[in-house]
Amino acid sequence: MEEAQTRLQKIGLDETTIKNTIKGKNALKSILQTLDLIGVQECDKKIGNLLYEMSQNLTEALDNRRALLAKYIVEGKITNKLQLEGALEYLRTHTHLEQIPAEDFDKAAGVGIVVTPEQIKNTVAEFLKTKQDLKTIRYTYNFSEYTKQVRSLLPFAEGKLLTQELNQQIEAILGPKTEEDLKAAKTQVKKPQQQQQQQQQVQQQAEEEDDCKFDISKLVARDLATTVNSEQLLNWRKQNFPYEVLTRFPPEPNGYLHIGHAKSINFNFRLAQHYKGVTYLRFDDTNPEKECQEFIDNIKENLRFLGYTPFKTTHASDNFGKLYDYAVQLIQKGKAYCCFLTKEESSKLRSDLKPSPYRDTQPAENLEIFRKMKMGYYKENEVCLRAKIDPTHPNPTLRDPAIFRIRFTPHPHQGEKWCIYPLYDFTHCICDSIEGITHSCCTLEFEVRRDLYYWFLKELDLYRPFVWEFSRLNVSNTVLSKRKLHHLVFNNIVDGWDDPRILTLNGLRRRGYTADSINKFCDLISVTRKGNENIIGMHVLESCIRKDLDIKAPRTMAILEPIVAIIDNVAEDFSEELEVAIIPRNPQKGNRKILLTKQIYLDKNDVRTEDHPDFWGVAPGKIIGLKQCGPFKVLSVTANEVHLERLGKDVKPKGFLHWLSVKEATPCVARLYDYLFEAYDPNELDDYIKGINPNSKIVCSNALMHKDLLNSKPEDKVQFERLGYFNLDFDSKDGKFIWNRTVTLQEKDKIKAIAQVDGKQVQKKDVPQQKKDAPKKEAKKE
């Protein structure tokens, strides 16, 4: 490993990349293979990074192009990531070519397009002429927006040069920053540290644009440039579909949707909307053994929940008749044959790159067998229909893949009509084509299948949509693969498909995630072709819901583990009505009333019989605050009772606790959730189950809530002060209230590092020791 590290250092990779590469075994193998292939020991950082990027993007199908790409990089023909992406894109769409035509390839990779400093200068100058308000808004202009816009004018220019030039010219126009400018910047962002951070982020973002983050317009432009359809086919599409952009979301109804699907839904719908086009929901229902109505209904419901209305809902299975006819056409053309090999025999031949003995059966005979397959004449697996492509092809998906097979299983949407079913690859492209889809977007695992997709449409002379793959979503501390989710559900490791700890859309919804927060998350992570290995931290998702609920969720109080407290210095029948804002940030939502009485409940977690200097909660002799009603002195504490004395308002306690009057408290249950996996990336473990967090669910059965909540309905959301945001569970009925904690008020790590007591930062030592998942100290001042 040390040797690997030195080698990666010598090509100028940064330490984090090196660390991650060594961890991800495949990543390391790939870059070392590249270096070995071209015999490079040491090189410029820029070349090293490009070689690295290239190696990470080589799929199996492109492995034979490694040398070509490496040569272009080392020779300085490919000098940035945008060019590299162009080159890769070309190779991906031309895997069938043995020899790559240099001229076409160079064009695709932008070889020879040198953007001179002169050009950059002129373009920036032209661009700034269009910004007439710059002199008025001065340095408060939107840096990231500006960068993005110039960048789109000169896509092959080097990012850094471009931003440098932009900064220089702006300074030349505005002159150096005046005191006024500095003030304006300060009022824009309050904390200088935050401002700095933001600027850094923007800078980073601008640099990352070099990574060829595809935005929607680039995607469409590329489509137009590479369009391959004949005029006739384009006309056919134009006449039948009035939308220039038509996308689809094509789930197979064999499971529940998760956050990764939300990414795809969000992308497909937004892409179409952007161009005033529409999106279909298509059930990719070719496998009746795994599909059922329950999943179909659930997918529809999830789309509704997320706020998307498909222009049409279609079923691949509605095209079974057409697919049958297309298969007949292929047979007639001599491009498909019936194959009687067993599964084992055929996979052996396929891995040995040998042809099937049935490959040369004549079309007439194949037609007859295929007709008999449809009539139910053969048994399951006795025979299948295969496309006749190339048994020796380096891309295994092109080695005479099966396209129709026999299954005597009724279909959830077609009933008993069919006993032969088309397979995914054959079905998907034809359905896309029939539906006039312009952009067929899917995750990168499907990349190897793209050539096959194009092959069918070419042979059948059908309109060809543009296929574009994006990287799959990975989120930390959880798993998203269908197989792993199935395992968790069927082994009762979680409580069903809607367990609030998993990221199925039903789970998220039950946890209390709103559609807005999920869509916001999808916007935030954006859609790129960058490697499938990227993991988005769970905290990103959590911060989306926190922000959303901060402005939506009414504030109230609850107690997880009650203990009675008595205020000694007030009368037996004392009661004081306090009026407080429902959502402090949103005064329009009005006020709520709470009652302070002689007897109240506190949370046991905030109470100790013995004091400790690090502790600021309830302990004998302490001064504490109660939310909304000021300071109290703790007179005594026993295991089940606290005595307090109310103090005058001029005393300033360190922290404020949540409480409930015994007159206003009513029973409820609170479920506190934590990450389902302790491991950041459970997929990396030999056995991902070992990464499970044993304390991911804690149920507080004796909790209390304010009685105002007795009218709550499932899916109502509240903030229990200091405890977090909670969602009323679907199981709440017959007077039983179950609250699921959606998220704590502060990020896990931050809770550990600092705590703010009513707006004031306190040192770490002031923070009480917290048990895992114990109620956390509150972050924000209300």
Ligand X SMILES: NC(=O)CC[C@H](N)C(=O)O
What minimum distance in Å lies between the beta carbon of 461 and ligand X? Answer: 22
Please choose, from the candidates 437, 418, 439, the residue with its C-alpha nearest in 3D space to the C-alpha of residue 327. Answer: 418
Residue 253 vs 775, nearer CB to ligand X = 253
Spell out the residues 6+ positions from residue 34 whose beta carbon is closer than 8 angstroms to its own.
51, 54, 55, 66, 70
Least distance in angstroms from the C-beta of 297 to ligand X: 17
Cα-only R_g, the chain: 31
Minimal distance, residue 265 CB to ligand X, in Å: 11
Query: What residues are paired with 666 via a beta bridge?
Result: 705
Q: Which of 379, 394, 381, 389 is nearest to 346 (CA)?
A: 381
Task: State how far the Cα of 568 lies from the Cα of 573, in Å rounded to an integer.
Answer: 12
Shortest distance, position 316 Cβ to ligand X, whole Å: 8
End-to-end CA distance of the chain: 52
**Residues 773/674, Cβ–Cβ less than 8 Å:** yes
Q: Is 265 exposed, middle or buried (0-12, 13-18, 19+ CB in 10 A)?
A: buried
d(CA 10, CA 51): 13
Spatial neighbors of 45 by CB under 8 A, at least 6 apart, are: 11, 12, 13
**Closer by beta carbon to ligand X, 285 or else 721:** 285
Shortest distance, position 305 Cβ to ligand X, whole Å: 19
Residue 434 corresponds to which tokens in the numbers above?
A: 């029939």
Minimum separation from the CB atom of position 436 to ligand X (A): 16
Distance CA 325, CA 565 (A): 79
Give 250 or 277: the residue with its C-beta nearer to ligand X.
Answer: 250
**String of b and e for 24-50 (b: at least 16 CB within 10 Å)?**
beebbebbbebbeeeebeebeeebbbb
Q: CB nearer to ligand X: give 195 or 443.
A: 443
> Reduced to 3 states, what is the DSSP secondary structure of residue 118?
helix
Residue type at 773 in one-letter notation:
D
- Of the candidates 599, 606, 701, the residue with the CA atom closest to the CA atom of residue 658: 606
Report in angstroms how near the CB of residue 408 gets to ligand X at its nearest. 23
User: Which residue number is nearest to ligand X in terms of Cβ?
Assistant: 442
How far apart CA 319 and CA 326 sit, in angstroms, is 10
Instruction: Enter the tokens of residue 98.
Output: 């043995």
Query: Which residue's CB is nearer to ligand X, number 23 or number 458?
Result: 458
- Shortest Cβ 519–ligand X spacing (Å): 20
Complex with ligand X: residue 261 or 671, whichever CB lies closer: 261
Active-site pick, 472, 501, 509, 598: 472
Q: Which is nearer to ligand X, 250 or 436 (CB)?
A: 250
472 as an active site residue: the answer is yes
If the CB atoms of residues 284 and 561 are measured against ligand X, the closer one turns out to be 284
- CA distances (Å), 364 to each of 327, 330, 331, 403, in order? 13, 12, 8, 18
Distances in Å between the Cα of 446 and the Cα atoms of 61, 62, 456 are 11, 14, 15
Per annotation, catalytic residue among 482, 608, 646, 748? 482
Concatenate the DSSP letters of all residues of 730-750 into one string. TT--TT--EEEEEE-SS-HHH
Q: Measured from the CB of residue 268, what is the shortest distance to ligand X in angstroms?
A: 9
Which residue in 158, 252, 645, 715 is the catalytic one? Answer: 252
Q: Which long-range contacts (CB under 8 A, 24 or more apart) does 219-223 make?
A: 219/271, 219/439, 219/468, 220/245, 220/275, 220/439, 222/89, 222/466, 223/438, 223/439, 223/466
Between the CA of residue 251 and those of 255, 315, 440, 776, what are the distances in Å? 9, 10, 13, 40
Q: Is 751 helix (H, G, I), strand (E, B) or coil?
A: helix
**Neighbouring C-beta atoms of residue 539, cutoff 10 Å:** 16
362 and 384 Cβ atoms separated by less than 8 Å: no
Choice between 284 and 451, CB closer to ligand X: 284
Q: 395 or 696: whose CB is closer to ligand X?
A: 395
CB 583 within 8 A of CB 549: no
Instruction: Give the span between the Cα atoms of 84 and 660, in whole angstroms.
Output: 62
φ, ψ of residue 756 in degrees (nearest 5): -115, 130
CB of 435 closer than 8 Å to CB of 246: yes
248 is catalytic: no
Q: Token pair for residue 658? A: 């949540």
**With respect to ligand X, which residue has the nearer C-beta, 315 or 546?**
315
Least distance in Å: CB of 203 to ligand X? 35
252 counts as catalytic: yes
Which residue number, 258 or 428, has a Cβ lying nearer to ligand X? 428
State which residue, 146 or 446, has the beta carbon closest to ligand X: 446
The distance of closest approach from Cβ of residue 497 to ligand X in the complex, given in angstroms and rounded to an integer, is 16
User: Kind and range of the H or E element at 282?
Assistant: strand 278-283
Residue 252 Cβ vs ligand X, minimum distance, rounded to whole Å:
4
Q: Residue 496 and residue 500: Cα distance in Å, rounded?
A: 9
Shortest Å, Cβ 402 to ligand X: 17
> In sequence order, what DSSP letters do the residues of 35-83 get, joined into one string?
HHHHT-SS--HHHHHHHHHHHHT--GGGGGGHHHHHHHHHTTS--SHHH
Site residues (CB under 6 A) for ligand X?
A: 250-252, 284, 428, 442, 446
Catalytic residues: 252, 472, 482
